[in-house]
């Protein structure tokens, strides 16, 4: 029996990680801690919310006394930390929120783990979920490996890099059992439609302009979110203490090519003439400091822990489009803001 604290479990990736752990490990107790910012949506977890091995706690990781109190009460065996401010555009508008949650919030969790595990780290583990954006940008050649020096460019990636450094420092200084993974861009179901793929699907569906930064030349390496959740499961259970793993799909796409592929899939799914959806593509002024290319080398994860992505991109993208078209209510609730009432409606009597 293990009790695992998963932070940020109401978000996009966190909800997939929570679902996977609740389903795969009925003997574990999963506590999902989330502040429910605009990005947190408990409707992502309706399928598992009544399971006996699952519980939700509304809390803010920047609130150190609350985090300490929770560690004292719950006696967690492990933390899988995903809670973060995650949108680069928002980090350009308001960097401080990113420092508070991604840096201070992470340090609060590390302090609580250190304090309540009291140097007796056998069977305890702190897993920090991070991003490939800490490595900076690539030109047309090369890939990020676990040895690539950190070179973050946006306030988001700077805050994630900082939290990664703190996690390693707590391992080196206090002996805390930590593991870190740095993953490429994720796509899949339950993704908040401010991010490229769900935003494009929603706008194409509604016949609205599909904004593409600059000329769409930026290259990203895309991974299906359920493959990321499975990688987290494997790393959590099998990685040696202090290790870092890169996670990626060896699946690089220029934004503009990805959007054209999405338009072709949507034309087919919506019964539109070929080329119809692509007419919605609208180029907009590029994001400040927009990194040209990310590409992740996940050879270590593949060779040491035998993880490989399960889906080809075209197949994963088609599955993703199907999910958004079949879950109109989820999408309508998110775009209207109604999802924010879900917690009140669902949990007020519990
Ligand atoms: N989305 C990606 O492509 C990607 C790729 C690599 C790594 N990551 C990392 O994975 C993690 C999850 O990303 P995501 O895309 O699911 O993000 P998300 O924005 O969808 O979800 C973040 C969750 O954290 C919660 N949260 C935010 N601030 C909080 C606070 N102060 N206290 C408690 N909860 C808080 C939000 O309510 C939300 O549920 C992040 O750490 C991110 O850096 C994301």
The pairing of beta strand 185-187 with beta strand 244-247: unpaired
Give CA–CA dist 212/255, Å, rounded. 8
70 lines ligand 1 (CB under 6 A): no
| CATH (domain of 205) | 3.90.25.10
Residue 45 falls inside a structural domain:
yes
Clarify whether residues 10 and 148 are in a common domain.
yes
Clarify whether residues 96 and 34 are in a common domain.
yes
Q: In which region does residue 63 sit, left (phi positive, over 0), alpha (psi from -120 to 50) or beta (all else)?
A: beta
What is the tally of structural domains in the chain? Answer: 2
Task: Choose, from 34, 85, 132, 291, the residue flagged as catalytic.
Answer: 132
Give CA–CA dist 119/115, Å, rounded. 8
Give CA–CA dist 293/138, Å, rounded. 5
- Domain limits at 215? 196-219+252-289+313-342
Picking from 111, 157, 155, 150, the residue whose alpha carbon sits closest to that of residue 131 is 157
- Give the distance from CA 104 to its chain's centroid: 19
- Measured between alpha carbons, how far apart are the two ends of the chain, in Å? 25
Which residues lie closer than 8 Å to 106 by C-beta, 6 or more apart?
61, 81, 128, 163, 166, 167
Is 252 annotated in the active site? Answer: no
**281: β partners:** 210
Note the pLDDT of residue 350. 45
**Residue 109: Cβ within 10 Å count:** 25
Clarify whether residues 153 and 39 are in a common domain.
yes
Clarify whether residues 19 and 159 are in a common domain.
yes
Note the pLDDT of residue 349. 47
Give CA–CA dist 133/296, Å, rounded. 10
Residue 349 falls inside a structural domain:
no
Atom 8, ligand 1: which residue's CA is nearest? 131
Which residues lie closer than 8 Å to 122 by C-beta, 6 or more apart?
none
Clarify whether residues 100 and 238 are in a common domain.
yes
Note the pLDDT of residue 347. 65
Give CA–CA dist 144/316, Å, rounded. 23
Clarify whether residues 180 and 275 are in a common domain.
no
Q: What's the 189 CA to ligand 1 centre distance in angstroms?
A: 15
Atom nearest to 105 CA in ligand 1: 31
Note the pLDDT of residue 348. 59
pLDDT (tens place) for every residue of the chain, 350 residues total: 799 999 999 999 999 999 999 999 999 999 999 999 999 999 999 999 999 999 999 999 999 999 999 999 999 999 999 999 999 989 999 999 999 999 999 999 999 999 999 867 788 999 999 999 999 998 888 999 999 999 999 999 999 999 999 999 999 999 999 999 999 999 999 998 888 999 999 999 999 999 999 999 999 999 999 999 999 999 999 999 999 999 998 999 999 999 999 999 999 999 999 999 999 999 998 888 788 899 999 999 999 999 999 999 999 999 999 999 999 999 888 888 877 777 777 665 44
């Amino acid at each position: 029996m293990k009790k695992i604290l998963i932070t940020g479990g109401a978000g996009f990736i966190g909800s997939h990680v929570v679902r996977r752990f609740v389903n795969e490990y009925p003997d574990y107790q999963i506590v999902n801690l989330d502040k429910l910012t605009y990005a947190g949506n408990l409707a992502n977890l309706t399928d598992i919310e009544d399971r006996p091995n699952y519980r939700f706690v509304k809390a803010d990781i920047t609130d150190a006394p609350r985090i300490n109190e929770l560690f004292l009460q719950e006696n967690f065996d492990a933390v899988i930390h995903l809670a973060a401010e995650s949108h680069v555009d928002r980090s350009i508008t308001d960097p401080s929120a990113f420092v508070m949650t991604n840096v201070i919030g992470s340090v609060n969790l590390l302090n609580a783990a250190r304090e309540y595990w009291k140097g007796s780290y056998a069977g305890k583990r702190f897993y920090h979920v991070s991003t490939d954006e800490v490595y900076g940008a690539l030109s047309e050649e090369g890939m990020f490996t676990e040895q690539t020096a950190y070179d973050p460019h946006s306030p988001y990636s700077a805050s994630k890099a900082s939290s990664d450094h703190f996690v390693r420092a707590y391992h080196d200084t206090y002996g805390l059992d930590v593991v870190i993974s740095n993953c490429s861009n994720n796509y899949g179901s339950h993704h908040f439609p401010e991010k490229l793929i769900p935003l494009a699907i929603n706008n194409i569906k509604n016949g609205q302009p599909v904004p593409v930064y600059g000329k769409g030349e930026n290259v990203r390496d895309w991974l299906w979110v359920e493959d990321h959740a499975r990688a987290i499961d494997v790393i959590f259970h099998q990685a040696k203490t202090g290790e870092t793993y890169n996670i990626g799909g060896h699946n690089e796409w220029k934004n503009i090519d990805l959007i054209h592929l999405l338009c072709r899939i949507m034309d087919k799914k919506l019964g539109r003439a070929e080329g119809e959806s692509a007419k919605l593509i609208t180029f907009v002024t590029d994001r400040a400091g927009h990194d040209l290319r990310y590409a992740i080398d996940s050879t270590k994860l593949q060779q040491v822990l035998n993880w490989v992505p399960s889906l080809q991109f075209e197949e994963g993208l088609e599955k993703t489009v199907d999910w958004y078209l079949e879950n109109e209510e989820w999408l309508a609730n998110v775009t209207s803001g109604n999802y924010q009432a879900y917690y009140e409606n669902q949990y007020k009597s519990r």
